[in-house]
Amino acid sequence: MGCDVVTVSTDTQFVHLAWQRCEKELAAVKYPMAADPTGNVSRMFGVHDEASGLALRGTFIIDPEGTLLNSEVNFYNLGRNIDELLRKFKANVYMKRKANEVCPSKWKDEGDKTLVDPGAKMVGKVHEALQGELQGA
């Protein structure tokens, strides 16, 4: 889908190499592992923990024009859900093509119900719009 995933921590690329070659769980990893030892890129996204010098679990979606469209930050002890990341990525790609549509919370993939041209007629009538019962929607 024209997307590149890059993992980032404040470790150097040398440590990334050593970790990926040592840890068998990472044998299948294909993503470039980026080094942010100064923490400056982590700060750019607001995930640098100044107390520890480490990056929090932040995930960011940037479109092909360089605009930040999505951010999710978890504290140290909560892992991320890849299905939810994929859902948000697909929704952003879809909405890039269909600028007059918005994806509701239950949207999962192309073909699922969207809201088209949300405007005055939909105010207070989102339920009807989601059911396809809104006149003229």
Partner 1 sequence: MNDVPVTTKLGHKVPLFELATYDPVKGDFSKFSLAEQLERKRWTILFFYPADFTFV
Alpha-carbon dihedral sign for residues 33, 54, 58, 44: negative
> Which residue in the set 24, 35, 102, 136 belongs to the binding site for partner 1 (CB under 8 A)?
35
Please report whether residue 1 would count as binding partner 1 according to CB under 8 A: yes
Q: What is the dihedral of CA 71, 72, 76, 81, to 10 degrees?
A: -130
Q: How far is the CB of 122 from partner 1 (least distance, A)?
A: 22
> Which residue in the set 30, 97, 106, 127 belongs to the binding site for partner 1 (CB under 8 A)?
30
Token pair recorded at residue 54: 């480490």
Decide: residue 91, CB within 10 A, 0-12 exposed, 13-18 middle, 19+ buried. Answer: buried
User: Rounded to an integer, what is the distance from CA 29 to the centroid of its chain?
Assistant: 19
Please report whether residue 41 would count as binding partner 1 according to CB under 8 A: yes
Contact letters (x/-) for partner 1, 47-66, by CB under 8 A? x-x--x-xxxxxxxxxxxxx
Binding site for partner 1 (CB under 8 A): 1-20, 23, 26, 29-36, 40-47, 49, 52, 54-71, 76, 79-80, 85, 89, 92-93
